[in-house]
Structure 1
Amino acid sequence: MFSSSSIGIMHNLVGYLLTPVIWILLLLSALAIVEIGMAFSERFKAIPAWVSSGDMIGLERLAMHRIERSDFLARIAPMLGLMGTLIPLGPGLAALGSGELSILTTAMSVAFDTTVLGLLVGIIGFVLGRVRRRWYDEALRCMEAQNACGGIHG
């Protein structure tokens, strides 16, 4: 079936993934915090400015870009959280078999922490994406209504 050398290579490769997964999760957490601040700025400054400018194409591009970033957070962070859960469980279960409970405890802590962090960032991304969709749809409808009225009365 599988040779012990191929299993060992796979185990080593997966073991090397934990640190990058944790760092990327931390980076996405920081990005989520920045996105929250940007969302407030969008709602109260950027979107009203775009509406008053009448540039629908520019607003659609901005909306697409901002919503894609929110969707990226909503999808990628939970996947990385799951990776951060599964990667330390292998060594943790091996430590349990050896009776080394301190290693198991550390592995379980990392597993739960990465899961929670990935889900938190995913929730933030999901909520921001939904809220942004609504804000930009309302702004575009308002701009379309202004253009329609301008065409009738102009």
Structure 2
Amino acid sequence: MLEAGFTQLTQLLLTPILWLLAAALVYALWMSGAVLVEAWQRRSPAFRSLPDAPELAFDEIELIVLRRLEPLRLLSRVTPMLGLIATMIPLGPALHGVASGNGSAALAVFSDAFAGVVLALTAAAIGLVLYSLRRRWLLGELLAIRKRREGLA
């Protein structure tokens, strides 16, 4: 009875996880556009994405950096896990199909399962590249702010 309950619960999780993976891929593509626009804007020497207002403590500016980086970091770390879940859920019924001699139905389930992991890894790869790029930019700006403030002190 417990095993049947777990099986039903995992089957119920598949659709929301697939929706989350679709949303993650859309977000990764949207952020790609945002980072491309930011890269274009950064060509100007006067471009600053971080506030350097004297009333802001340096710790507050660091927190702004973390808030800007966190969504991309989560995207690159969570989506592979969701992809693994989306792959594992259909594998149970697919293996039952293979064991009962219904290989063609199992093949369809396997292809759907692997499609979920491919979408997840695509979103994660995009997220990791964008995270790394944006992190380098923001840390460079943070260093420039620190140098300016130390020069003024």
Q: TM-score, normalised by structure 1?
A: 0.83
- Give the CA deviation at 1:86: 0.4
Q: Choose the corresponding residue for 1:54, options 45, 52, 55.
A: 52
Q: Which residue of 1 aligns with 2:102?
A: 100
Q: What is aligned with 2:9?
A: 13
Instruction: Name the aligned partner's letter for residue 119 of structure 1.
Output: L
Alpha-carbon displacement from aligned partner over 1:26-46 (angstroms, at most 9, x marks no partner): 001001111112222334438
Identical columns (%): 31
2:86 to 84, 109, 121: 84
2:4, 2:152 → 1: CA distance?
Answer: 70
Runs of 4+ in 1 over 4 A off after TM superposition: 56-59
Q: 2:79 touches 2:124 (CA, 8 Å); kept in 1?
A: yes
**Deviation digits for residues 100-141 of structure 1 (CA, Å, limit 9, x no counterpart):** 223201111111111111111111111111111110111112
Which structure 2 residues correspond to residues 2-151 of structure 1 after superposition, within 5 A?
Answer: 5-45=1-41, 48-50=47-49, 54-55=52-53, 59-151=61-153
RMSD: 2.2
Structure 1 position 59, deviation (Å): 4.8
- Aligned-partner Cα distance in 1 for 2:115–2:39: 32
Whether the 8 Å CA contact 2:21–2:82 is kept in 1: the answer is yes
> C-alpha distance in 1, partners of 2:63/2:41?
17
The verdict on how the C-alpha distance between 1:73 and 1:42 changes in structure 2, with shifts beyond 3 A counting, is same
In 2, the alpha carbon distance for the partners of 1:74 and 1:50 equals 22
Q: 1:43 to 1:140 in 2, by over 3 A?
A: farther
| Secondary structure at the counterpart of residue 49 of structure 1 | coil
Q: Secondary structure at the match of 1:115?
A: helix
User: Please, which runs of 5 or more residues in structure 2 have no aligned partner?
Assistant: none
Q: Normalization by structure 2: what TM-score?
A: 0.84
CA shift for structure 1 position 146 = 2.7
Question: Which amino acid in the other structure matches residue 11 of structure 2?
Answer: G
2-structure distance, mates of 1:108, 1:76: 22
Q: Name the structure where helix makes up a greater proportion of residues.
A: 1
1-structure distance, mates of 2:116, 2:85: 8
Distance 1:9 1:145 in 2: 59
